[in-house]
Amino acid sequence: MDTFDQQHIWHPYAKVPNLIAAHKVQSADGVYLNLDNGKRVIDGMSSWWSMIHGYNHPVLNKAITKQLAKMSHVMFGGLTHQSAIDLAKTLISITPENLTKIFFTDSGSVAVESALKIALQYWRNQGKLDKQKFITIRAGYHGDTFGAMSVCDPDNGIHHFFSGVLAQHYFVKSPSIVGWAEALKDLEDALKQNSDTIAAMILEPVVQGAGGMQFYNPQYLSKAKALCERYNVLFILDEIATGFGRTGELFAFEYVGVEVDILCLGKALTGGYMSLGATLTSDKISSIVGTLMHGPTFMANPLACAVANASIDLLLNSSWQDNIARIEKHFYSELLPLKESDKVADVRVLGAIGVIEMVDDIDVEKTQNQLIENGVWLRPYGKLLYTMPPFIITDNELLLLTDTMKKVIT
């Protein structure tokens, strides 16, 4: 614990002074965080989904060091560089064929902001000035900036405090809560009544992250896309958390092969090394949008692009599918039986994601201290104790992770 930190530094979703002191990390390697109290703990969070190859990876270290020797940053207005060009080529090659244009941002939230602006400008430039709203499902999360907050769940999400000042959009039933058939009916009803005012639908495909770690039937995606086409509404997918293998597919939309109008990427894009986002769209949409009045200072940062290139190459040339299947099998074996506990409301597993939903709220400070004492770092919230470990985690490390999860909830 660092007293200055606790008294002066705002941490995510926390007060100052922080009621729960942050644990100080001295270094990190592989799947481990080395804390200043001497504890060495498995990072079961992959630094919020992003560190898929683990920490201090020699290949990624080399890529970023090589780029650093050339330049750490250069403005992207009027200039370009090879790392951004290479990354754009790679992303175009691994995403759907219709996605041929890329806008780089400095974070996932800003990738969402860019996507929303693209959708609005697309319709405005065609004279459809009423199409200024968005539609999404309940229990969603798309980031903490204002546009992104406006398409997060306004009632049960973490941004409900701001609901009175945010732009008002349409929210329909989530297929993770009511089932995809009922959710589709609700979506169709809303589109039928309001499509003249809706620019786009935005979704987290298959997995709803910070909104409650909920999963839903991928069939909802293809059916929702068909409805959006019928009612002349663009289709935006937010793969910031799910992209780059986490669910067992390279991108979660690949479960049904749905075509996307606008795609948002972030988090694991750089293997967790640097903040970087990307918003991809089609020739048709980009030609109508024209000049996009958006330009983050650190967009397409050369260090971030260089390490992203190395991270994607490392992923695609590894046995990542086997690793995800191995992790998923372990979670099914070790976590699913916890459903029998009276203390547990539900257990959910998909790819390298394991979620235990408790009946009652978790005592975060007590639980985190127990986890650390047993050699594991997780970040529970509400009723949820969940994990999304680095893909390189070994079987023995996985066993320690799940054994500790079981230990702290019983």
pLDDT score for 9: 94
Active site residue 223: no
pLDDT score for 157: 63
Q: What is the pLDDT of residues 272-310, one digit of tens each?
A: 999 999 999 999 999 999 999 999 999 999 999 999 999
Q: How far apart are CA 280 and CA 64, in angstroms?
A: 24
Q: Which residue in the list 106, 153, 238, 261 is annotated as catalytic?
A: 238
- Is the predicted pLDDT of residue 265 greater than 70, yes or no? yes
At 251, the pLDDT band (50, 70, 90 cuts) reads very high
Domain coordinates in residue numbering, the chain: 3-58+318-409, 61-316
CA proximity to 270, closest of 229, 307, 323:
307
pLDDT score for 159: 66
Q: Mean pLDDT, to the nearest integer, of 24-39?
A: 97
Cβ atoms of 320 and 393 within 8 Å: the answer is: no
pLDDT > 70: what percent of the chain? Answer: 99
Domain at 61-316: CATH architecture: 3-Layer(aba) Sandwich (3.40)
pLDDT score for 211: 85
Q: Mean pLDDT, to the nearest integer, of 317-329?
A: 98
Q: What is the pLDDT of residues 375-409, one digit of tens each?
A: 999 999 999 999 999 999 999 999 999 999 999 99
pLDDT score for 162: 81
- Is the predicted pLDDT of residue 1 greater than 80, yes or no? no
Q: What is the pLDDT of residues 81-107, one digit of tens each?
A: 999 999 999 999 999 999 999 999 999
Q: What is the pLDDT of residues 117-166, one digit of tens each?
A: 999 999 999 999 999 999 999 999 999 999 999 999 887 766 667 878 88
pLDDT score for 180: 86
Q: Which residue in the list 32, 141, 220, 273 is annotated as catalytic?
A: 141
Q: Mean pLDDT, to the nearest integer, of 228-247?
A: 98
Q: How far apart are CA 122 and CA 244, in angstroms?
A: 28
Active site residue 2: no
Q: Which residue in the list 43, 131, 267, 386 is annotated as catalytic?
A: 267
- Tokens linked to 69: 């020797």
pTM of the model: 0.97
Q: Mean pLDDT, to the nearest integer, of 228-239?
A: 98
Q: How far apart are CA 260 and CA 252, in angstroms?
A: 12
Domain at 3-58+318-409: CATH architecture: Alpha-Beta Complex (3.90)
Active site residue 273: no
pLDDT score for 158: 66
pLDDT score for 19: 86
Q: Mean pLDDT, to the nearest integer, of 20-34?
A: 96
Task: Tell me if domain 3-58+318-409 and domain 61-316 are identical in fold.
Answer: no
Active site residue 238: yes
Q: What is the pLDDT of residues 350-372, one digit of tens each?
A: 999 999 999 999 999 999 999 99
Q: What is the pLDDT of residues 44-58, one digit of tens each?
A: 999 999 999 999 999
